[in-house]
Amino acid sequence: MTHSYVERELKFDVAADFVVPDVSALLPAGGCLERSVEQLRSDYFDTADHALLRAKMTLRRRTGTTDTGWQLKVPQKPFREEIRLSLDGDGGDGVPDEGVPDELRDLLLGAVRRQPLVQVASVVTDRSVQRLLDAEGRQLAEIDDDRVHASAAGEAATASSWREVEVELADVEVQLLDALAKRLRRAGARPANSSSKLARALPADRIEPVTRRRRLRAGDVVSAYIAEQQRVILAGDLALRRGDDSVIHKTRVATRRLRSTLRCFSPLFHTGRAQSLDSELRWFAGLLGEVRDRQVLAKRLDGMAQALPDTLTLGPVRARIDTELRQEQTEHWNTLRAELNGDRYLTLLQDLADWVEQPPATSKAHSRAKLIAKLVRRAERKVARRLRRANTTGDVHQLHGARKAAKRARYAAEAAEPVIGGGASARQAKRYQKLQDLLGEHQDSLISASVLRRLGAAAGVTDGENGFAFGILYEREAENARAAREKARRKAKKYS
């Protein structure tokens, strides 16, 4: 059975003659340094096209004096999560020692999409360790001085050696990690160029194709943004397979960012391929949304019910909210989990991987990157048009359309950061997020009111219950929606 923890670690490149600085001054009163020497062997596994490494994941089988077992590392900004499985963790199913256990293969199904996992490199590390302990002997942090000898597998097998230093924090405040990093940088250490030993062990052109361009192209900017959202989806996929529903929101947002990118920057892509991917992303986002919407609704409605005075709370109001929405959430969660192993979903992930590897670009993708700023402005104009139309007609559906346009403008500004600059990107994204949040509150109130009407109707015909409180909550949500529409009308001029 796997277990995991968040690995709070920083990695540094150092010269062969680097001297690890004295860090004893950072010890608490009564603390001490504990030193040891270890030798570790790590056999890394990936697909032939390095699908895991491209997703910023690494899978290794480690043996040696300490830290043995299977270790899968996945992104969890700003650090990484390490998922561990003992070397005999194949559950007795006959997996040979050198093979990847089924439990890990199942977790990685979305990332590798049924491609075989093969050994791609071996790394032997001679490690000098300094552990910082407090007065009670509890570990605060660890400094690993590694002399690494790596060999890549395959036809283009290569060997390499280097030295690096890692600093890993235990369960203490992150300030200690910053202080240790500062000492190392002063002594000549540099933040590592490679995210893992595997990335450094492999020839660079086997991870990312070597390109030589004189200028940044429009397609390059958007492709980088698409690749980042794909990595978020793959990390979410792995967490969902472990039963973690807390990643649903983040994963759903990544699908929204991708769909917004396909639409806002549509001139850069072939229409048919973009529409096909957009359709499948909408389907997957819908599966996520059915669960997420009930998570949000349950919390929202329970909070409103809890705030009602006892004199207005007739019957088991909170119990009905919890029972109904929890049951619906469970049903949709089970549907989502089942679809993760289905052909349609795995085909979507493969299509997305193909887009990252070689997007179906038009000639406009080779234009100068300033085209990106032009397309962002087009997205912003669409927000203004939709907001004016919605305020003129009073149509709630058109107001929802304005919200979706604001969302796309926000994500377009994020994607355009390499072109318009970090400051401008953040300001524009924040500007449209405010409008998105305001219109989102309007939409949430409408949906909540609809659910309250349904729950109240059911309570009204059930013995021991009463629909009175649901009617009060319904009217409050209707008023919230009216207030949000009025606020949107007043703010419309800011987005014209």
Statement to judge: residues 194 and 303 lie in one domain = no
Q: How far apart are CA 339 and CA 205, in angstroms?
A: 35
Please report whether residue 213 resides in a domain: no
**Residue range of the domain that includes 417:** 218-495
How do strand 32-46 and strand 58-64 relate by DSSP bridges?
A: antiparallel
Please report whether residue 245 resides in a domain: yes
Question: Residue 285 is which amino acid?
Answer: A
Statement to judge: residues 312 and 453 lie in one domain = yes
Statement to judge: residues 184 and 113 lie in one domain = yes
Three-state DSSP state, 198:
helix
Tokens of 96: 């040979």
Please report whether residue 385 resides in a domain: yes
User: Residue 138: which residues within 8 A CB-CB, separation 6 or more?
Assistant: 170
CA distances from 357 to 137, 280, 348, 391 (A): 49, 18, 14, 43
Q: What is the pLDDT of residue 159?
A: 83
In eight-state DSSP terms, residue 148 is E
Please report whether residue 211 resides in a domain: no
Statement to judge: residues 237 and 320 lie in one domain = yes
Q: What is the pLDDT of residue 92?
A: 38
Q: Are 212 and 205 in contact (CB under 8 A)?
A: no
Cβ neighbours around 348 below 10 Å, total: 23
Domain C-terminal end among 206, 235, 270: 206
Statement to judge: residues 418 and 452 lie in one domain = yes
Nearest CA to 74 out of 327, 226, 247, 205 is that of 247
Q: Are 150 and 200 in contact (CB under 8 A)?
A: yes
Statement to judge: residues 257 and 393 lie in one domain = yes
- CATH of residue 237's domain is 1.40.20.10
Statement to judge: residues 343 and 267 lie in one domain = yes
Distance of alpha carbon 237 from the chain centroid: 9
Residues of the chain with pLDDT under 70: 89-98, 155-156, 204-214
Burial class (CB in 10 A: 0-12, 13-18, 19+), 68: middle
How do strand 32-46 and strand 69-76 relate by DSSP bridges?
A: unpaired
Domain count, the chain: 2
Instruction: For the chain, state the CA radius of gyration.
Output: 27
Which region holds residue 125: left if phi is over 0, alpha if psi is between -120 and 50, else beta?
beta
Q: What is the pLDDT of residue 98?
A: 59
Statement to judge: residues 461 and 406 lie in one domain = yes
CA distances from 27 to 23, 189, 316, 458 (A): 7, 21, 55, 63
CA atoms lying within 13 Å on the CB side of residue 103: 18
User: Residue 84: which residues within 8 A CB-CB, separation 6 or more?
Assistant: 2, 3, 4, 69, 70, 71, 72
Q: How far apart are CA 174 and CA 179, in angstroms?
A: 9
Q: Are 325 and 296 in contact (CB under 8 A)?
A: no
The DSSP bridge partners found for residue 9 are: 168
Domain C-terminal end among 180, 206, 232: 206
User: Residue 42: which residues within 8 A CB-CB, separation 6 or more?
Assistant: 60, 61, 62, 122, 123, 124, 125, 197
Q: Are 74 and 81 in contact (CB under 8 A)?
A: yes
Statement to judge: residues 362 and 406 lie in one domain = yes
CA atoms lying within 13 Å on the CB side of residue 292: 16
Q: What is the pLDDT of residue 275?
A: 97
Burial letters 213-237, b for 16+ CB under 10 A, else e: eeeebbbbbbbebbbbbbbbbbbbb
In eight-state DSSP terms, residue 487 is H
Three-state DSSP state, 467:
coil
Tokens of 367: 């234009």
Which contiguous run of DSSP H or E holds residue 442? helix 422-460
Please report whether residue 212 resides in a domain: no
Counting every residue written for the chain, the total comes to: 496
Q: Are 419 and 431 in contact (CB under 8 A)?
A: no
Q: What is the pLDDT of residue 88?
A: 75
Nearest CA to 166 out of 181, 149, 153, 183 is that of 181
CA atoms lying within 13 Å on the CB side of residue 476: 14
Q: What is the pLDDT of residue 222?
A: 97
Tokens of 25: 């001054």
Burial letters 6-24, b for 16+ CB under 10 A, else e: ebbbbbbbbeeebebbebe
Q: What is the pLDDT of residue 206?
A: 55
pTM metric for this prediction: 0.91
Statement to judge: residues 364 and 384 lie in one domain = yes
Domain C-terminal end among 155, 185, 206: 206
Q: What is the pLDDT of residue 154?
A: 74
Which region holds residue 188: left if phi is over 0, alpha if psi is between -120 and 50, else beta?
left
Tokens of 79: 């650090």
Tokens of 23: 């860090």
Statement to judge: residues 167 and 113 lie in one domain = yes
Angle made by CA atoms 224, 227, 232, in degrees to the nearest 5: 130
Statement to judge: residues 476 and 381 lie in one domain = yes
Q: What is the pLDDT of residue 164?
A: 97
Angle made by CA atoms 375, 381, 383, in degrees to the nearest 5: 110
Please report whether residue 31 resides in a domain: yes
Q: How far apart are CA 322 and CA 277, in angstroms?
A: 36
Q: What is the pLDDT of residue 438?
A: 94
- CATH of residue 183's domain is 2.40.320.10
Please report whether residue 247 resides in a domain: yes
